[in-house]
Structure 1
């Protein structure tokens, strides 16, 4: 039988995640705007050339913020090639609603930008042929480390098995040992400016 947790003390896996998260965020924050912009353009090229995205009619993506690998050029490229693009809208309980991206974004909670269109519901992500996911790192088995809110673990639980799910990262964030908890959802690939790595 497992030892009961001391009230107010996070479980060891949560503490380990926090430590790894802090290191990765610190490293990201050292990047210059020029580096972030270069990465965004290279990621758009890499993903636009991927067979999974070329075949996809609907792509669930997201609007990057801060020092995350940028998604702006990618979103423009997807729309220019006629893809239906779904973007997330953060709900008060940290779950994700979705709306189709028509080129307009509005300011939302926590400094996020969200699509201006009609909300489609939390299950809309299940209609995507490709799901592009934010995060801080991934191991070789596809376990991702997110920001800790659980939003994408819930979203990924709604995605049909076999859907191409891809994390957007910097190269040194791929293959990082990630502490894993039972609710964590895996992804099938990671994309960096250098290419796409298949996981698992």
Structure 2
């Protein structure tokens, strides 16, 4: 990766992290409610009965309202389990989380292989930022790019970000897997027709 692209990614990650951590609890709650509404609408529009999602870390867009709704309505949710080597396995979300690798909350139940993500109807993934072409910027460890790149079948992939984290353009490297769309507290964006990515 060119030095300029690396520097730009570092700058974007730093700005996003500062913005997210600087929000008040009331603002985070407001955004979380909007995000739940948008995610419920997306899942309902797709008729999805199984999805991937994530248990948010401090500062990440709060999807807990969506996770509660999914549990109450019988939508099967797979949450990531971090493995050594920057790999992801999955486990079914039962609502009870334990602290996993790097302090990341994860389900305590039986593990499923990385490829289990290919069997869901929608992939809902965390992100630092996205751009209008579907470039997803993560936090630099490559967990999700590795997972997405390894799937034989890739359901539509939606990155969860804040409205301010949607950029006109971000650097994209050869290993970066683009997403179908993004979900924010106020909207669902589609960058490519579902199934094309």
Q: TM-score, normalised by structure 1?
A: 0.89
Aligned-CA RMSD value: 1.8
Per-residue deviation, 1:158:
3.5
Partner in structure 2 of residue 39 of structure 1: 31
1:96 to 84, 88, 92: 88
Partner in structure 1 of residue 70 of structure 2: 78
Show the 5 A alignment for 1:14-93: 14-50=6-42, 55-93=47-85
Per-residue deviation, 1:50:
2.1
1:123 to 109, 112, 115: 115
How many residue pairs match? The answer is 192
Following the alignment from structure 1 to structure 2, what is the Cα–Cα distance between the partners of residues 51 and 105?
Answer: 23
Structure whose CA Rg is larger: 1
Per-residue deviation, 1:53:
5.7
Structure 2 unaligned residues grouped into runs of 5+: 193-197
| Runs ≥4 residues deviating over 6 A | none
Residue pair 1:52, 1:164 contacting (<8 A) in 2 also: no
Show the 5 A alignment for 1:3-22: 11-22=3-14
Following the alignment from structure 2 to structure 1, what is the Cα–Cα distance between the partners of residues 124 and 99?
Answer: 21
Following the alignment from structure 1 to structure 2, what is the Cα–Cα distance between the partners of residues 158 and 80?
Answer: 31
Question: Per the alignment, in what secondary structure is the counterpart of residue 50 of structure 1?
Answer: helix
1:8-58: per-residue Cα shift (whole Å, max 9, x none)? xx8442232112211221121211122112111111111112256651121
